[in-house]
Amino acid sequence: MSARLALGLSRLAPLLLLLAAWQAASAAGLLPRRVLPPFAEVAAALWALIASGELWPHTVASLTRAGIGFAVAVAAGIALGLLMARIRSVQRAVEPILLLVYPVPKPALIPLFMIWLGIGDFSKITVIALACLVPVVIATFNGARGVDEFLLWSARARGTSERALLWRVVLPAALPQIAAGVRTAIAVAIIVLVSSEFISSDAGLGFLIFSYGGVGADDAMLAVVIFLALLGYFLDRAYVGLLRRYMAWHAFAQH
């Protein structure tokens, strides 16, 4: 345990060094306040935002949007990816559409969806879901198609029926790839969320960053940016932790 702690500290050290350098440069007058406020002030602003409770409704608004879009995308994406892998005609019908949708930078869909579905949460959630869908479908399809034939033979020779094969073998064998696709989708969800809140919103962390930036409250703006970064980081860590715990059979990369 202490070895893990030491490793964690050694990995944290560069970040702390960087923050210390920031603070020192501000204190020495090398970093003018209008370029970057001192780190201590940003930290104080973050604490104030948390203590006053101002941050929470925005966090809840953002997480709700991202969470719903993400959850819909994961459920639909896995189902669609498996269908594509098992049924030839579905694969042929969906592939051209995926090829068309893949290169579109998904945040560019935000204005159109706002025209169609209004400027509220529904359009944001739809774009987030669409953006997250693509990596999940592709990962599931590739994972399910790439299942080793010997594994399928092995299961058949031990009495698994063709219908049970999907649940007993194809899905578990594709899980590592699906898990990687879902991890990409988490990052995508946050990017599209922030973009959509920048473009038009009256609540959410993106909105908060944008409005503090607009009135020149740089310390508060940076505080929310840091909070968002921490949120994204811990979501990713929590997900990887879940995978380590429930998919111990697969060797995951360390980072």
- Residues numbered 20-79 forming contacts with other proteins, rule: CB under 8 A: 35
**Radius of gyration from C-alpha coordinates of the chain:** 22
Site for other proteins in 144-163 (CB under 8 A): 148, 150-151, 153-160
Our CB check for other proteins shows the closer of 70 and 212 to be 212
Residue 68 or 186 with smaller CB distance to other proteins:
186
19 part of the interface to other proteins, by CB under 8 A:
no
**In the range 82-141, which residues lie near other proteins by CB under 8 A?**
89, 91-100, 102-112, 114-116, 138, 141
Closest CA to 235 of 193, 200, 199: 193
d(CA 124, CA 117): 9
Q: Does 2 bind other proteins (CB under 8 A)?
A: no
Q: How far is the CB of 13 from other proteins (least distance, A)?
A: 8
Helix (H) or strand (E) holding 106: none
Instruction: Supply φ then ψ for residue 38, to 5 degrees.
Output: -55, 150
Residue 241: Cβ within 10 Å count? 11
166-195 binders of other proteins (CB under 8 A): 169, 172-173, 175, 186-187, 190-191, 193-195
Asked whether position 1 contacts other proteins by CB under 8 A, the answer is no
Residue 107 and residue 127 in contact, taking contact as beta carbons nearer than 8 Å = yes
Residue 241, both tokens: 């932790």
Closest separation in Å from C-beta 28 to other proteins: 20
Tokens representing 238 are 């929590």
